[in-house]
Copies of this chain bind each other. A is one copy, B any other.
């Protein structure tokens, strides 16, 4: 796979989101770079490890790590003077989610896996890096919490659309573009309309092993 500009823009956006999360936790510069790297490549790495695809994509193409480090340090430099362009970042993040979810799904597809696993691998490619970012900053992953508008759900829906269109005979590339558009549109529409999944809430003691 040749690195496309799109791929590099995608990891850069995820790197910025990681760097900002590191800043909210007041980490040091190394912490900023580590969180940025984990956020940007965590999902694809997990996918590659689980599918036994070696070399892992960023080991084959170290340019990813260079771009991520540069994006993380640029975020620090920018933030010394200006607030991050939050609206643009939200839009870029939705596009990154769309891109990585569909390309991740395609990789699982090429390995001949069943639709359930293709959807899981695609969604994981798009979202697991952000979950690792949150775990490393000692937070419950944002995308699992009821304060978050549709995120992984948008990825699942878009991948399902992509697979459905292909199954109906639509060629691969237009199906992929439709899937990506659906993910980005659903994510952004969810933010605008404050659309969230229902919450599942239990009292703290329910279902815990009883005191002996």
Given A20-B202, A24-B207, A206-B24, A29:B197 Cβ within 8 A: yes
Query: How far in angstroms is the closest Cβ of chain B from A80?
Result: 9
A198 near B29 with CB under 8 A, answer yes
**CB-nearest residue of chain B relative to A190?**
B212
User: CA–CA, A38 to B209, complex, Å?
Assistant: 19
List, in ascending order, chain B residues with CB within 8 A of A28's CB.
144-146, 148, 196-200
Query: How far in angstroms is the closest Cβ of chain B from A35?
Result: 7
| Interface size of A in residues (CB-CB distance below 8 Å) | 84
B212 near A194 with CB under 8 A, answer yes
Stretch from A98-106, A132-140, A163-171, A178-186 forming part of the interface with B: A132-140
User: CA–CA, A211 to B196, complex, Å?
Assistant: 11
List, in ascending order, chain B residues with CB within 8 A of A174's CB.
none
List, in ascending order, chain B residues with CB within 8 A of A26's CB.
145-146, 199-202
Instruction: Say if the beta carbon of A65 comes within 8 Å of chain B.
Output: yes
B24 near A208 with CB under 8 A, answer yes
List, in ascending order, chain B residues with CB within 8 A of A120's CB.
65
User: CA–CA, A51 to B48, complex, Å?
Assistant: 11
A59 near B51 with CB under 8 A, answer yes
Query: How far in angstroms is the closest Cβ of chain B from A70?
Result: 12
User: CA–CA, A35 to B152, complex, Å?
Assistant: 14
List, in ascending order, chain B residues with CB within 8 A of A23's CB.
200-202, 206-207
A140 near B207 with CB under 8 A, answer no
Q: Which residues of A are in contact with B by a Cβ distance under 8 Å?
A: 16-17, 19-32, 34-35, 45, 49-52, 54-56, 58-59, 62, 65-66, 76, 79, 83-84, 86-87, 89-90, 93, 113-114, 116-117, 120, 131, 135-146, 148-149, 152-153, 190-204, 206-212
15 A-B pairs within 8 Å (CB atoms) are namely A23-B202, A23-B207, A24-B202, A24-B206, A27-B145, A27-B146, A31-B144, A52-B52, A52-B54, A79-B200, A83-B206, A86-B206, A90-B210, A138-B139, A194-B211
